[in-house]
Amino acid sequence: MNQLRPLNGLVTGIALLVTVMLTACSDNSEQPAPPKSTRIAGEVFLAPDSPKKAYVKTQPLQLSQHPLLEPLAGKISYDESLTSRISSPVAGRVITIPVSLGTAVQPGSTLLELDSPEVADVEADFAKAQADLTLASHAYQRQQELYEGKAVSRKELEQTQDDLIRARSELQRAQDRLKNLHLSNKQLDGRFALHASLAGIVVERNVNPGMEVRPDLDQPLFVVSDIKRLTVVMQVFEINLGKIRLGQKLSVTVPAYPGQTFPATVSYIGQVLDEKTRTVQVRCELPNQDGRLLPGMYATINVESDAHDQAIVIPLTAVFTEGDDDFVFVALDDHHFKQKPVTIDLRLKDKAVIAAGLSAGEQLVTEGALMLRAEEEVETSSENAKSE
């Protein structure tokens, strides 16, 4: 009996030990899991030493004029109201050196002189008409004296009076022909001087010394234009015609001067629609005081709203699309970025006009938005894996 007591004590001790161990295991299983690391949906944190920061570029948002259309293609041309295409109204041979290209001329400046048989005929007709009028006048006076002396009949007097009227009409016709050709009735040498009708610069010349010219030549002999004011011609699709109005201010760029803009004003909107292209021609006044712009240059025309109508315009590189929605990232600080949904009012070739979702002063991520979106996906996947 006494021998069994140590054995009973050993069994009791083992039972107590097992009970303690089971209790400890039960306590551990009932303890709550350690808290997960906090993360805000739609936000990305980059470590200060993360190499990905080199791919992220930002810029502050600011208001600018509201674009109305995709930039339009156009071409610079002469202002027709300040351009004169000059041809010779008579045939003849050039006997002087025509004025050179680039010469500044005034109204009435002589461009060239011709030796013209046609002009000689006009001058001869004038001289003949003058002589005929003198002869008819003398005949009428003589017949009038004879009629007063009753030496001739009234019919004979009236005949000479009719001859005098016809002679005066012929002289007037000859004078009008001289006037139309800007010829003097005192210079009857068969020479014709071609004059400029407008002030400007000789921008084209299609005549040389000794050349035979005619009124029906395909090209004008000279083109004179004031190139300090040019015209931009563009074609506007009918769907966009309502956004163009007379007097509207536009900005023009040309490949010759990248980064520079030139102001223009809508001066004419065509009244006929081209049924093949569904476009209407629009012409714009383009000041050119420094002469840098040239007729024939291709131009890009930006159609913008009034100066007070402003909007936030961002590069398309900042936008990424998921489903039917558009998003951007804004920088909250150097390492913290937040995804924001935006509403795009107008999507242009390389820009987007924002209707809602962004405010002036925010720091927009212009490059690296897709990389931040991928980083957000990685962080989301990691969080999901830890939660499991």
Residue spans in the chain of domains classed CATH 2.40.30.170 = 72-81+227-303
Residue 54: pLDDT above 90? no
So what's the pLDDT on residue 138?
Answer: 92
Could you tell me where in the chain the CATH 2.40.420.20 domains are found? 43-64+310-387
Q: Give the whole-angstrom CA distance, residue 17 versus residue 98.
A: 125
Section 313-332 average pLDDT: 92
Q: Which architecture, in CATH terms, is 117-186?
A: Orthogonal Bundle (1.10)
Confidence at 214, pLDDT banded by 50, 70, 90: very high
CATH code, 43-64+310-387: 2.40.420.20
CA distance 112 to 227: 22
Q: Is the pLDDT of residue 91 over 70?
A: yes
The predicted structure's pLDDT at residue 148: 82
Quote the CA–CA distance of 105 and 205 in Å, as a whole number.
13
CA distances from residue 340 to 58, 250, 274, 288, 343 in whole angstroms, order as listed: 15, 33, 44, 45, 10
pLDDT at 36 over 60: no
Residue 134 has a pLDDT of 92
Q: How far apart are CA 89 and CA 43, in angstroms?
A: 79
Percent of the chain's residues with pLDDT above 90: 54
Q: 25 pLDDT band (50/70/90 cuts)? A: very low
Hey, which CATH number is domain 72-81+227-303, 3.90.170.10, 2.30.30.100, 2.40.30.170, 3.40.50.880? 2.40.30.170
Least confident of 132-141, 142-151, 162-171, 350-359: 142-151
- pLDDT tens profile 263-280: 999 999 999 999 999 999
